[in-house]
Amino acid sequence: MKILLTSTSFYDTPGAHKELLYSKNFEIDYLPGPLRDKMLIPIIANYDGIICGDDEINEGVIETGRRGNLKVISKYGVGLDKIDLKAAKKYNIPVTNCIGVNQVSVAEHTFALILAFYKNICLENQLTKNGKWERLIGHDLNGKRMGIVGLGRIGKEIAFRAKSFGLILFAFDTVIDDDFVALNNIRICSSIDELIKSSDIISLNLPLTSETQNIISLDRIKKIFNTGSLLVNTARAGLVDLEAVLYGLDNKILAGYLTDVLEEEPMKRDHPFTKYENVIITPHIGSRTYENVERQGIMAVNNLVNYLKLSVR
């Protein structure tokens, strides 16, 4: 069987996940993603399965694959917003993902960004390397109010870590784990607006759907956010309106914006965020650790293999 691999994290990182994949005697082609649909449509029919990252797998890709050999789409990762799930169902192509593997890595990355910002790590590192001994004044996390938008697996891991820093916790979600909330002294807000008003730090930990698209809107930035709020996004770029964030930064409503995700990746050289010292950007690496790549990779391979076995019975 022939397999297409597009995940750069999977391919670039040594470990048991690669050994497992190559032990299956597949014919494997690697194309570094994320790939656009125009790159996938001419080739996808040649493959029995794909282990994908954040590639553009729309109806055109899925229909073309279905007319050829495609039997399964195995997402390396959790988020499925780049895959047309309705089309996959329509053409009877199973889609799998790696639920429950990356929450620790992403939560740790969230706090790496927050600490880097409040302790001026990026600025101080650059200043010191440039020969300056400029001792900027930072901020403590202890006593600050943190709002977690989305109290799923990642949100819960963030809450665990937030407690150790002495943060006062607020959360909003449509489904609440009452036992977890009570155990960790989290104050549940009835709306995102209430959470924003209550928080110094807002962490976005939601999947991207039609309901969550641009939940951080210009109207919310103007009317709801407290002056000096810190916005952290390690989920999906589409949760925020870019123009709203720029307005918030320009008008000092936002103290900073910390993000691991952008609306177009890789980032364009002329992206407006490059002009702001109070914006910290990492290139979608929240789950990119040796440990987590191996965990996700093994799950992605096993998901692929299990569905391919079903398809030949």
Which residues are tagged catalytic? 236, 265, 284
CA separation, residue 269 to residues 3, 222, 244, 286 (Å): 33, 28, 20, 21
Joined tokens for residue 267: 């980032």
Q: Which residues pair with 52 in a beta bridge?
A: 75
Scored b (16 or more CB within 10 A) or e, 223-232 reads ebbeeebbbb
Q: Where are the alpha helices (DSSP H) in 68-198?
A: 85-90, 103-118, 121-129, 153-164, 178-183, 192-198
Measured distance CA(32)–CA(29) in Å, rounded: 10
Tell me if 206 sits within 8 A of 106, measured CB to CB: no
User: Closest Cα partner for 30 from 18, 16, 45?
Assistant: 18
Measured distance CA(112)–CA(139) in Å, rounded: 14
Measured distance CA(68)–CA(168) in Å, rounded: 54
Measured distance CA(80)–CA(311) in Å, rounded: 22
Tell me if 163 sits within 8 A of 138, measured CB to CB: no
Q: Within 13 Å, how many C-alpha atoms sit on residue 227's CB side? A: 3
**Contact residues for 228 (Cβ-Cβ < 8 A; gap 6+):** 200, 252, 253, 254, 255
Joined tokens for residue 61: 């890709």
> Which H, E and C letters describe 261-274, residue by residue?
CCCCCCCCCCCHHH
Residue type, 61: V
